Structure 1
Amino acid sequence: MEPSRDRLRTPRAAGLAGIAFAVLLAAAIVLMRLAIPEGVTDAGGDALSPDRRRAVRMALELVPFAGIFFLWFMGALRAQVGEREDKLVATVFLGSGLVFVATMFGAASAAGSILEDQQPSEFGRNFAYTLLTTYSMRMAAVFIFATSMIGHRLGVIPRPLTVVGYAAGLVLLFAGPSFPWSELVFPAWSALIGLHLLRVRMKSRPQPADVH
């Protein structure tokens, strides 16, 4: 009975990790965008206020935990799929997820360099946003495509969520820096998948036998 119990636990682990990752990443993105607006030409010449510096530091503290929960989310999803996964798509799934985490950490490091100077660096700000919107979010799009494809083939993700996933992936793939705040699509999708997996976990939980 132990393998069956593990299968029942996996959707819950993936669901909780996906929701935690979504909340942490969304909070970090909102804090960073409010503290260091993108596309403001005079922002580089003004010193960051204490409140804005505090917001940047808080965002940077959230990013590592977001990465940890994302890796847990990704691992739990792979455990849910098991040996049934397509090797080609599974490789894209794993590679895009790891590259996403690496570029997200790189964007956070670039944003952290802004705090080292009294005057915010225009280069550091642009570099952070380039890593986030151009590279990190496009890897997130590939991850969404791969997850939606595997999940739909194996019946883990229903058709409506698969369609939402493909739409979210297209937004992240082609919107990029042209649409500020579009990166929030990724945590929104992760939260949806997490809630769905928790719902699956609740439905698949064995009911206690009636005692007469």
Structure 2
Amino acid sequence: MSTPLQFHRLTTPRAAAAAGVLFSVLFTASLVLLWTTVPEGGAHGSQWTVAGSGHLKTAAALMPFAGIAFLWFIGVVRDGFAGVEDKFFSTVFLGAGLLFLAMVFATTSVGIGLAHSSTDVTDPGARAEVVAFATMALTALGKTYALRMAAVFMISLATIWLKSGVMPHWLVWTTYITAVVVLVAADTSVWLMLVFPVWVLLVSVMLLGRSGVIHLPDAIE
């Protein structure tokens, strides 16, 4: 007589919350490389694509790993809902997170296209037009779309936290205020994108503290 199969419930590793920390570091590094190379607000000639091609290629190399870490971060956050998530807000939360990631990948892809334009587009006039279009597309993807999806991600997650009580109120209201500011002021500067990895870092530290990986003061917990 065969022995019945025994199934074990999968559990999220405690250290998995460190994925948010890894995302914050890689995403910030990629953003700094990208936005210190690309002139904000216009294409200001095409000569910068030659000097900055190395930065653009490095940013493109880092971003996929930041994206993988962000997917892990989403999984860790969902695991923390402990079965009390609201289906409506969870759908918005997941949709906004995945759209944010898609927009970020698209932004970086345009950046790598700019890096190769200095060698693959030989005609100076054509190169200037390609750079002008790609720069405007990159800026719009980053500021107008990706950043606002990040704000929706934060708002939906804060609402789930508020309804379930799984996170402290000070973090919920800090998230709401930060997300609203980002949502309204997204078009003012590409550097506002740095707000999101800082927020992810804060949430990750809270999750690591709750899992016992690090110790947090009682006032923060």
- Name the structure 2 match of 1:109: 109
- Percent same amino acid at aligned positions? 34
- Name the structure 1 match of 2:100: 100
Q: Which runs of 5+ in 1 are unaligned?
A: 206-212
- Name the structure 1 match of 2:150: 140
Equivalences for residues 168-187 of structure 1 within 5 A: 168-187=178-197
Matched positions, count = 198
Rg (Cα) greater in structure: 2
- Name the structure 1 match of 2:11: 6
Secondary structure of 1:48's counterpart equals helix
Secondary structure of 2:80's counterpart equals helix
Deviation at 1:147, TM superposition (A): 1.1
Render the CA deviation track for 1:141-186: whole Å, top value 9, x for unaligned: 0100111111232232211111111122112211112134111110
Normalising by structure 1, we get a TM-score of 0.85
Equivalences for residues 12-51 of structure 1 within 5 A: 12-13=15-16, 15-40=17-42, 42=44, 44-50=45-51
Cα distance in structure 1, aligned partners of 2:30 and 2:39: 13
- Name the structure 2 match of 1:162: 172
Which protein has the bigger helix share?
Answer: 1
Partner amino acid, structure 2, of 1:33: W
Render the CA deviation track for 1:90-118: whole Å, top value 9, x for unaligned: 11011111111111111111111111222
Contact residue 134 and residue 177 of structure 1 kept, 8 A? yes
Normalising by structure 2, we get a TM-score of 0.82
Q: CA RMSD in A?
A: 2.2
Contact residue 168 and residue 186 of structure 1 kept, 8 A? no
Contact residue 54 and residue 115 of structure 2 kept, 8 A? no
Contact residue 28 and residue 60 of structure 1 kept, 8 A? yes
Q: Which runs of 5+ in 2 are unaligned?
A: 1-7, 119-126, 216-221
Deviation at 1:39, TM superposition (A): 2.0
Cα distance in structure 2, aligned partners of 1:203 and 1:47: 44
